[in-house]
Amino acid sequence: MKTNRTISILFFLLLVMMPLDFYLIFKVAPTERIMGDVQRIFYLHVSLASGAFLAFTCTFVSSILFLWKKNLIWDSAASASAETGLLFATLVLITGSLWARPIWNVWWTWDPRLLTVLILWFIYVGYFLLRGGIADRFKKAQYSAVIGIIGYIDIPVIRYATKWWKSIHPLLTREGGGLNPVMKNVMFFSLTTFLVLTVFLFLFRFRLARIEERLQKLKKLTED
Amino acid sequence: MENWGYLVGAYTVAWLGVSFYLYVNAKKQKAIEERLSDIEAMLKDRG
């Protein structure tokens, strides 16, 4: 009941925040001097990436809690957040590619940042392939929790890839430079909106996972 | 507007992706809830 109310509140919040975010991105944010209008993809791209990181962090924490408490509710939380994270990571790769084509003149390049995000994407695709391949509910939860924890190592690698290796990927903040104040405010609002969207999608999927769990239990009861 | 196709494409793909994900899950939820109420009614009949 509490989850249902939170989902409704977040939905109505997003109904206000999303159009406002669009207005700020397309009307208020100034056009970037070198890249032109295509730079506006960044507000979406960075926000999606932050949402994916938040979701995968939730997967990591829930996976640890599952291995510790052995309660399947934490597995439901881990898989729901991993699904949200994978959706956002897919969109990050697509929107990044759509920005790279006019700016770098290529759809894809083997830059460390891009490569580490692609590795993250494959890790979580593997996570769901594994879940689909194991019938035993508890074993499925155990194995995917291990992947959820190990896979998370890639997140700090993505964060520092531009520092550790030679990269052409743009940085959001630079010492003594970076975004102009209006762009920074728009980016901040966009990030907030997408973090709300991430929580909304996670709760939506988590509720579904719990209903699925209940159905499985009832099915077993009728079989017995 | 320069390169508007890429800009519109990125926002369209993102919003279609999120909308499709929500639509599929909402449909799945509806089907499961119907199934749940069927089973619950069956169990009630059994006593």
CB A114 within 8 A of CB A167: no
For chain B, which ranges sit under pLDDT 50? none
Q: Does A9 touch chain B (CB under 8 A)?
A: no
- Gap from B11 CA to chain A (nearest CA, Å): 7
Q: What is the pLDDT of residues A55-82, one digit of tens each?
A: 999 999 999 999 999 999 999 999 999 9
Instruction: Identify the pLDDT of residue B40.
Output: 83
CB A156 within 8 A of CB A120: no
Does the predicted model carry a pTM greater than 0.90?
Answer: yes
Question: What value does the mean pLDDT take over residues A165-182?
Answer: 70
Range of the domain at A198: 50-169+179-223
Distances (CA, A) of A107 to A75, A110, A211, A216, B15: 36, 11, 41, 44, 20
Q: What is the pLDDT of residues A112-154, one digit of tens each?
A: 889 999 999 999 999 999 999 998 989 999 999 999 999 999 9
Residue B14 is nearest to which of A91, A218, A222, comparing CB atoms?
A: A91
| Residue A222 to residue A216: CA distance in whole angstroms | 10
Instruction: Identify the pLDDT of residue A133.
Output: 93
Contact B4 A37 (CB under 8 A): yes
**Count of domains forming chain A:** 1
Instruction: Identify the pLDDT of residue A176.
Output: 46
| Residue A207 belongs to a domain | yes
ipTM of the complex: 0.89
Coil, helix or strand for A175? coil
Closest chain B residue to A85 measured between Cα atoms? B18
Paired tokens of A86: 């994978």
Check pLDDT > 60 for residue A177: no
| Residue A1 belongs to a domain | no
Segments making up each domain of chain B, as ranges:
11-47
Environment class of A149 (CB within 10 Å of its CB; exposed 0-12, middle 13-18, buried 19+):
middle
| Residue A41 belongs to a domain | no
